[in-house]
Homo-oligomer: A and B are copies of this chain.
Amino acid sequence: MAQGSQTLRISIFRLFLLLMALSSPSEGGWRWGILGLGKIADDFATALTRTSVASAGGRLLACACRDEARSRAFGTRFGLEQSRCYGSYDTLAQDPDVDIVYIASTHFLHRDHVLLCLQAGKHVVCEKAIALNARQAEDMYACAKREGKLLLEANWTRFLPAIRRVRDLIRTGELGEVRLVTADFGKVMNRQDARRWLWEAEHGGGALLHMGMYPVTLALLASQDQHEPAVQAIGQLSEGETGVDQNVAVGLRWPGGVASLGYSWVADTPEECVIVCSKGRVRIHPPAHCSDTLTIKRFGATDGTRHAEGSEEVEHFPLPAVLAREDGEKLFHFGNSEGLAYEVEAVHKALSDGLTE
């Protein structure tokens, strides 16, 4: 799947022509269903329907949650036919007109929902964390392979233009070898106000799957995903029966490099990432997990003990424009969610290219 987005050089127009030539999706492009209708589903639907980047290759057709009234209200917000607003996940999975299902239910339901949709012949994009453990993930990917369908973890960070630029800087060797990565992600979560399962280990609770996966994603990306790094973690668990991780320092090591990461839901951290390489370093500005700005510093020559001053450049990667937004209208629950459009675009591209892994 990573390959699909790396070569996203095709113009929207050519993509459109390609899509027209394919028989699988309807004329309007790939037809999406959304399963689970919380805040992130709302942001995803907005990115899909109200940005040109995402909507060029597809459209939203159906939605489902366990409460049919809520499903209908969601459908109304996004202009869906009421007959496509389901009160059951199974009905959505069985809708013959849906090509792809975006799964936005909670972590501990992902396995069942992913298998349900894959077995019904749908491509699947599943919110992170896609699984509670490696075993679940392996089951899900084996199923996708059997069914010949795309299965993608919705780790949107990887599809953002700023992050793709970072990956290019590293892959081309322009900044030399990656030596040391620092990254943090922390937001205070109030136990009284947040959903209970977040504090339940057996339900995939804890800050790692919720927040820690972002700095870990950036570190893995810096290591070019080539290695399975050695891992160490140290930190505090929440109080309670099944204490879950809530304030953690993580160290990763791969051949030639290390990452020093911090994640937390008891601390509001700056959300930065710095990737230090042998010839320069790149700072991913806050919020690093959905950044639109980089500072790239290229080192000068070294005098043996330290590098001379080099050049420093700031690069901006504006998020996609939102169509028909009214002045002051707040469309998204989470910051920079416009960037979800790049994830959708990558999925359209991958499907058009016939990629399923």
Cβ contacts A189-221/B at 8 Å (1 or 0 each): 110111000000000000000000000000000
Contact present for B250 and A193 (CB under 8 Å): no
Q: Report Cα–Cα, A276/B187, bound state, in Å.
A: 11
The copy count of this chain in the complex is: 2
CB proximity of A295 to chain B, nearest CB, Å: 10
Contact present for B264 and A270 (CB under 8 Å): no
8 Å CB contact of A276 from B268, B304, B306: B268
Known A249-B253, A268-B307, A276-B268; judge A180-B188 contact (CB<8 A): no
Contact present for B250 and A251 (CB under 8 Å): yes
A261 within 8 A of B: yes
Contact present for B234 and A264 (CB under 8 Å): no
Known A251-B249, A268-B276, A307-B268; judge A262-B182 contact (CB<8 A): yes
A235 within 8 A of B: yes
CB proximity of A341 to chain B, nearest CB, Å: 23
Chosen A-B contacts, 5 in total, with CB atoms closer than 8 Å, are A190-B302, A234-B253, A249-B259, A249-B260, A258-B262
Binding site for B on A (CB under 8 A): 179-180, 182, 184, 186-190, 192-194, 230-236, 247-253, 256-262, 264, 266-270, 274, 276-278, 281, 283, 299, 302, 304-307
